[in-house]
Amino acid sequence: MLPLKEATSAKHKIAERMPFNARMFRGLLTKEQYLLYLNQQLQIFQAIERIGLPHTSLKRTENVQADIVELKAQGNSAELVLNSTKAYTDYLSSLSYEEVLPHIYLNYLALVFGGQMIKKSVPSTGRMYDFESMQDAVQSIRAVQNDNWADEVNKGFDHNIAIFEELESHCLIEN
Ligand code: HEM
Protein backbone atom coordinates (compact mmCIF):
# COMPACT_ATOMS: atom_id res chain seq x y z
CA MET A 1 0.00 0.00 0.00
CA LEU A 2 1.32 3.47 -0.88
CA PRO A 3 2.05 5.92 1.94
CA LEU A 4 -0.98 8.20 2.43
CA LYS A 5 0.79 11.35 1.24
CA GLU A 6 1.82 9.66 -2.02
CA ALA A 7 -1.60 8.07 -2.58
CA THR A 8 -3.25 11.51 -2.33
CA SER A 9 -0.58 13.68 -3.96
CA ALA A 10 -2.34 13.89 -7.36
CA LYS A 11 -5.43 15.42 -5.74
CA HIS A 12 -3.24 17.68 -3.58
CA LYS A 13 -1.67 19.05 -6.72
CA ILE A 14 -5.10 19.75 -8.24
CA ALA A 15 -6.36 21.45 -5.04
CA GLU A 16 -3.20 23.52 -4.68
CA ARG A 17 -3.49 24.78 -8.25
CA MET A 18 -7.17 25.75 -8.19
CA PRO A 19 -7.37 29.37 -9.38
CA PHE A 20 -9.01 30.60 -6.14
CA ASN A 21 -6.27 28.98 -4.06
CA ALA A 22 -3.54 30.26 -6.34
CA ARG A 23 -4.89 33.80 -6.03
CA MET A 24 -5.11 33.43 -2.24
CA PHE A 25 -1.48 32.27 -2.19
CA ARG A 26 -0.43 35.28 -4.27
CA GLY A 27 -2.24 37.72 -1.98
CA LEU A 28 -4.80 38.65 -4.61
CA LEU A 29 -8.07 37.99 -2.76
CA THR A 30 -10.26 40.88 -1.64
CA LYS A 31 -11.40 40.90 1.99
CA GLU A 32 -14.92 40.00 0.84
CA GLN A 33 -13.63 37.00 -1.14
CA TYR A 34 -11.46 35.81 1.73
CA LEU A 35 -14.39 36.21 4.13
CA LEU A 36 -16.55 34.03 1.89
CA TYR A 37 -13.79 31.38 1.99
CA LEU A 38 -13.53 31.67 5.80
CA ASN A 39 -17.26 31.12 6.12
CA GLN A 40 -16.90 27.83 4.19
CA GLN A 41 -13.96 26.79 6.40
CA LEU A 42 -16.06 27.58 9.48
CA GLN A 43 -18.84 25.23 8.33
CA ILE A 44 -16.32 22.43 7.78
CA PHE A 45 -14.59 22.87 11.15
CA GLN A 46 -17.91 23.12 12.99
CA ALA A 47 -19.18 19.92 11.36
CA ILE A 48 -15.97 18.07 12.29
CA GLU A 49 -15.63 19.51 15.79
CA ARG A 50 -19.20 18.54 16.67
CA ILE A 51 -18.06 14.93 16.16
CA GLY A 52 -14.70 15.16 17.93
CA LEU A 53 -10.96 15.76 17.63
CA PRO A 54 -7.92 13.71 18.67
CA HIS A 55 -6.49 16.73 20.58
CA THR A 56 -7.93 20.01 21.89
CA SER A 57 -5.05 22.00 20.38
CA LEU A 58 -6.58 21.29 16.94
CA LYS A 59 -9.81 23.25 17.64
CA ARG A 60 -10.35 25.81 14.89
CA THR A 61 -13.90 27.11 15.28
CA GLU A 62 -13.11 30.01 17.64
CA ASN A 63 -10.06 31.11 15.65
CA VAL A 64 -12.00 31.17 12.38
CA GLN A 65 -14.84 33.05 14.06
CA ALA A 66 -12.35 35.66 15.30
CA ASP A 67 -11.06 36.16 11.73
CA ILE A 68 -14.64 36.52 10.53
CA VAL A 69 -15.46 39.10 13.23
CA GLU A 70 -12.34 41.07 12.27
CA LEU A 71 -13.37 41.29 8.60
CA LYS A 72 -17.02 41.97 9.37
CA ALA A 73 -15.98 44.87 11.63
CA GLN A 74 -14.36 46.39 8.56
CA GLY A 75 -17.72 46.43 6.79
CA ASN A 76 -17.47 43.19 4.82
CA SER A 77 -20.16 40.57 4.69
CA ALA A 78 -20.31 37.02 3.35
CA GLU A 79 -22.91 34.89 5.11
CA LEU A 80 -23.36 32.59 2.16
CA VAL A 81 -22.88 28.84 2.58
CA LEU A 82 -22.08 27.45 -0.87
CA ASN A 83 -23.90 24.35 -2.19
CA SER A 84 -20.60 22.47 -2.39
CA THR A 85 -19.88 23.33 1.25
CA LYS A 86 -23.34 22.15 2.29
CA ALA A 87 -22.76 18.87 0.42
CA TYR A 88 -19.44 18.34 2.24
CA THR A 89 -20.73 19.28 5.70
CA ASP A 90 -23.83 17.07 5.25
CA TYR A 91 -21.47 14.23 4.42
CA LEU A 92 -19.13 14.99 7.34
CA SER A 93 -22.08 15.11 9.75
CA SER A 94 -23.05 11.57 8.76
CA LEU A 95 -19.67 10.17 9.88
CA SER A 96 -18.62 8.56 13.15
CA TYR A 97 -15.52 9.74 15.01
CA GLU A 98 -13.40 6.99 13.45
CA GLU A 99 -14.73 7.81 10.00
CA VAL A 100 -14.12 11.55 10.27
CA LEU A 101 -10.42 11.13 11.14
CA PRO A 102 -9.24 11.12 7.47
CA HIS A 103 -11.02 14.47 7.05
CA ILE A 104 -9.25 15.80 10.13
CA TYR A 105 -5.92 14.74 8.58
CA LEU A 106 -6.93 16.54 5.38
CA ASN A 107 -8.40 19.79 6.63
CA TYR A 108 -6.17 20.38 9.65
CA LEU A 109 -2.80 19.42 8.15
CA ALA A 110 -3.75 21.69 5.24
CA LEU A 111 -3.56 24.60 7.71
CA VAL A 112 -0.32 23.35 9.24
CA PHE A 113 1.58 23.02 5.95
CA GLY A 114 0.22 25.08 3.04
CA GLY A 115 -1.59 27.27 5.58
CA GLN A 116 1.57 28.60 7.19
CA MET A 117 2.73 29.77 3.74
CA ILE A 118 -0.70 31.23 2.90
CA LYS A 119 -1.09 33.06 6.23
CA LYS A 120 1.29 35.81 5.09
CA SER A 121 -0.82 36.50 2.00
CA VAL A 122 -4.37 36.69 3.35
CA PRO A 123 -6.14 40.00 4.06
CA SER A 124 -6.66 39.34 7.79
CA THR A 125 -4.62 38.50 10.90
CA GLY A 126 -4.96 34.83 9.97
CA ARG A 127 -5.80 33.37 13.37
CA MET A 128 -7.18 30.31 11.57
CA TYR A 129 -3.56 29.29 10.92
CA ASP A 130 -2.39 29.80 14.52
CA PHE A 131 -2.06 26.78 16.80
CA GLU A 132 -1.15 27.08 20.48
CA SER A 133 0.95 23.97 20.09
CA MET A 134 1.64 23.08 16.49
CA GLN A 135 3.64 20.09 17.68
CA ASP A 136 0.76 18.61 19.73
CA ALA A 137 -1.66 19.31 16.90
CA VAL A 138 0.43 17.54 14.26
CA GLN A 139 1.49 14.72 16.55
CA SER A 140 -2.12 13.87 17.45
CA ILE A 141 -2.93 13.38 13.76
CA ARG A 142 0.30 11.56 12.88
CA ALA A 143 -0.40 9.14 15.76
CA VAL A 144 -3.68 7.95 14.22
CA GLN A 145 -3.20 8.36 10.46
CA ASN A 146 -3.38 5.23 8.37
CA ASP A 147 -2.38 4.44 4.78
CA ASN A 148 -5.77 2.79 4.25
CA TRP A 149 -7.39 6.27 4.45
CA ALA A 150 -6.37 7.16 0.87
CA ASP A 151 -9.82 6.77 -0.73
CA GLU A 152 -11.50 8.78 2.01
CA VAL A 153 -8.86 11.54 1.93
CA ASN A 154 -9.19 11.69 -1.86
CA LYS A 155 -12.95 12.01 -1.43
CA GLY A 156 -12.33 14.92 0.95
CA PHE A 157 -10.00 16.50 -1.62
CA ASP A 158 -12.78 16.23 -4.23
CA HIS A 159 -15.13 18.10 -1.89
CA ASN A 160 -12.50 20.78 -1.28
CA ILE A 161 -11.87 21.11 -5.02
CA ALA A 162 -15.63 21.54 -5.63
CA ILE A 163 -15.69 24.29 -3.00
CA PHE A 164 -12.74 26.08 -4.66
CA GLU A 165 -14.58 25.86 -7.99
CA GLU A 166 -17.72 27.38 -6.54
CA LEU A 167 -15.72 30.10 -4.75
CA GLU A 168 -14.08 30.97 -8.06
CA SER A 169 -17.41 31.22 -9.87
CA HIS A 170 -18.58 33.65 -7.18
CA CYS A 171 -15.52 35.83 -7.72
CA LEU A 172 -16.23 35.89 -11.46
CA ILE A 173 -19.84 36.93 -10.85
CA GLU A 174 -18.66 39.73 -8.53
CA ASN A 175 -16.19 41.24 -10.99
C1 HEM B 1 -1.78 27.07 -2.11
C2 HEM B 1 -2.19 25.93 -1.62
C3 HEM B 1 -1.34 24.89 -0.95
C4 HEM B 1 0.01 24.83 -0.79
C5 HEM B 1 1.05 25.82 -1.24
C6 HEM B 1 0.29 23.61 -0.07
C7 HEM B 1 1.55 23.19 0.30
C8 HEM B 1 1.83 22.09 1.07
C9 HEM B 1 3.16 21.68 1.49
C10 HEM B 1 4.45 22.44 1.17
C11 HEM B 1 3.03 20.54 2.20
C12 HEM B 1 4.14 19.75 2.86
C13 HEM B 1 4.67 18.75 1.86
C14 HEM B 1 5.85 18.02 2.42
O15 HEM B 1 5.77 17.50 3.53
O16 HEM B 1 6.82 17.92 1.69
C17 HEM B 1 1.62 20.22 2.25
C18 HEM B 1 1.09 19.14 2.91
C19 HEM B 1 -0.27 18.87 3.00
N20 HEM B 1 -1.29 19.57 2.40
FE21 HEM B 1 -1.07 21.19 1.25
N22 HEM B 1 -0.87 22.95 0.18
C23 HEM B 1 -1.89 23.69 -0.34
C24 HEM B 1 -3.22 23.37 -0.33
C25 HEM B 1 -3.77 22.30 0.33
C26 HEM B 1 -5.19 22.02 0.41
C27 HEM B 1 -6.28 22.87 -0.24
C28 HEM B 1 -5.34 20.89 1.16
C29 HEM B 1 -6.58 20.18 1.57
C30 HEM B 1 -7.73 20.76 1.81
C31 HEM B 1 -4.00 20.46 1.55
C32 HEM B 1 -3.73 19.37 2.33
C33 HEM B 1 -2.47 18.96 2.73
C34 HEM B 1 -2.21 17.82 3.57
C35 HEM B 1 -3.25 16.88 4.16
C36 HEM B 1 -0.82 17.75 3.75
C37 HEM B 1 -0.05 16.73 4.59
C38 HEM B 1 0.52 15.59 3.78
C39 HEM B 1 1.31 14.66 4.68
O40 HEM B 1 2.41 15.04 5.11
O41 HEM B 1 0.80 13.59 5.03
N42 HEM B 1 -3.08 21.34 1.02
N43 HEM B 1 0.92 21.16 1.54
The Cα–Cα gap between 58 and 77 comes to: 27
Would you state the pLDDT for residue 89?
A: 98
pTM for the structure as a whole: 0.97
Given a cut of 90, whether residue 78 has pLDDT beyond it is no
Among 112, 103, 127, residue whose Cα is nearest residue 53: 103
For residue 61, report the distance from its CA to the centre of ligand 1, in Å: 20
For residue 155, report the distance from its CA to the centre of ligand 1, in Å: 15
Ligand 1 atom showing the smallest separation from residue 164 Cα:
27
Would you state the pLDDT for residue 113?
A: 94
The Cα–Cα gap between 167 and 112 comes to: 22
Q: How confident is the model at residue 175 (pLDDT cuts 50, 70, 90)?
A: low
Per residue in 127-172, pLDDT tens? 999 999 999 999 999 999 999 999 999 999 999 999 999 999 998 7
Task: From residue 22, give the alpha-carbon distance in Å to each of 27, 102, 123.
Answer: 9, 24, 14
Mean pLDDT of 1-24: 97
**Best of 5, 12, 146, 158 to mutate for ligand 1, by most ligand atoms within 8 A of CB?**
12
Ligand 1 atom showing the smallest separation from residue 156 Cα:
30
Region 29-169: CATH code: 1.20.910.10
The Cα–Cα gap between 50 and 60 comes to: 12
Ligand 1 atom showing the smallest separation from residue 24 Cα:
1
Residues 6+ apart with CB under 8 A from 167: 20, 33, 36, 37, 40, 82
Residues 6+ apart with CB under 8 A from 85: 40, 43, 44, 163, 166
